[in-house]
Amino acid sequence: MLTSPVKGMLPLLSQTLLLLCLAACGGSDDTTSNPSDTGQTDTSQPGTPQTGGTDPAQGLCDSLEGEINWQALMAEDCPTLSQYRLFQQPDKPTRSPNAPGFNYELSSQLFTNYAHKYRFIFLPEGSQIDYNPSDTFDLPVGAVLVKTFALPSDTQLTGEANETLVETRLLIHRENGWTALPYLWQDGEAHLTIAGANQTHSLTRQGEQLDFTYHVPSRAECKLCHQRASDHGTHIYPIGLKPYLLNHDVLVNKERINQLEHWRTQARLTGLPDSGAPDSAPAITDNNADLTARAKGYLDINCAHCHRAEGFASISGLRLGFYVDHTSFQYGICKQPLGWDGGEKGLSYDIIPGDGEHSILLYRQMLDAPKDRMPPIGRSLSHVEALSVLQTWIDGLPPSLGNCQHSG
């Protein structure tokens, strides 16, 4: 929940902070701005790629040497995704990566309008991922993260036959830091879309047809979620590569195996304890798992990248990391937000133990107006299935955890 100090100035100050952040992000790999990357989204012609940004050296982007175009990945922002040659079938970014690429899966869902996500990692030869016991893993220079979003025709259906490719995002660890590249799919090809784009879509959820606008983020908006501040400036980092989001069984050659253990045996991961990762964040929809772990895992992957001390929403004081004590004030228990007016319900507290209906944490995930919506980008629809679980969790928290004066 993005916040500001004076209740009467809430929406204006929140929007000002957002604009300042986007302006500061620019289009480069670090705090140096790129004047050609404004981060503005084209809404006049939905779905039209806005290439902008750098003017790639065609020699590198069009090189035919080797399976993967490593030189271009490290140096150029190619106009089309296929020029990097990451996949055996350029129009199928959901499977069959070229070596040494491999897929990975998160245990808890990052929600983006019910889009199915296909994630891959490409590591330079001889390099490994460094294990971190409580936060994002360190990846070597040269690493590439690929995430493709495909919208289902029906939220109850899976598989490529029931999906429409929408976008593919790259995070590339170049010599001067991580850089983000968004690609929009059109007519079987993914085009670099520096300024972002809007596309209209329809899907069916529980028998109801939903028509909505899907927003492909601009390069600057990618950095809104991925940025972290430090004494050396603001830089971007991966979000989901955390031990508790990766510590679960996946299917490998028709056999179920722990994902982190598999990475270690494949010499992809170093530093994993012999006993393995201690914790796992189950899916929000896993009814057989611990309810608190389900709720905290979901809030971590969807909210904690901003709601941390180094994140964009640090000013809010709200901390939603998996290892933050969920009975504490900083996790939102009886905490009044610094920058939101309570909406039409006039709500006052981020979390009221025993009362999910009047908790801002839940309510703002139901709203869609730009000044109210949480997360601020990344969704146009509400994740009703997850919100039901989160309300059950908050309703089950003992009121004795805090001294909230009932609001709403």
Instruction: List own/partner pairs for 276-282 with CB under 8 A and 24 or more apart.
Output: 276/247, 277/133, 277/243, 277/244, 277/246, 277/247, 278/133, 278/243, 279/243, 279/244, 279/247, 279/322, 280/107, 280/244, 280/247, 280/248, 281/107, 281/108, 281/244, 281/245, 281/322, 282/107, 282/108, 282/248
Please report the pLDDT score of residue 370 as a whole number: 87
Pairing state between β 249-252 and 208-216: unpaired
Averages of pLDDT over runs of 10 residues in the chain (408 residues) are: 37 40 38 33 38 55 91 97 97 97 97 98 97 98 98 95 97 97 97 97 97 95 87 89 98 96 98 98 97 98 96 94 98 93 94 98 95 93 97 97 74
Structure tokens at 319: 């901390």
Task: Give me the amino acid identity at 227.
Answer: Q
**Placement of tokens 């296929």 in the chain:** 82
**Placement of tokens 């972290």 in the chain:** 228
**Placement of tokens 């722990």 in the chain:** 258
Kindly report the pTM of this predicted structure. Answer: 0.86
Please report the pLDDT score of residue 406 as a whole number: 57
Please report the pLDDT score of residue 58 as a whole number: 54
How many Cβ atoms from other residues are within 10 Å of residue 13's Cβ?
18
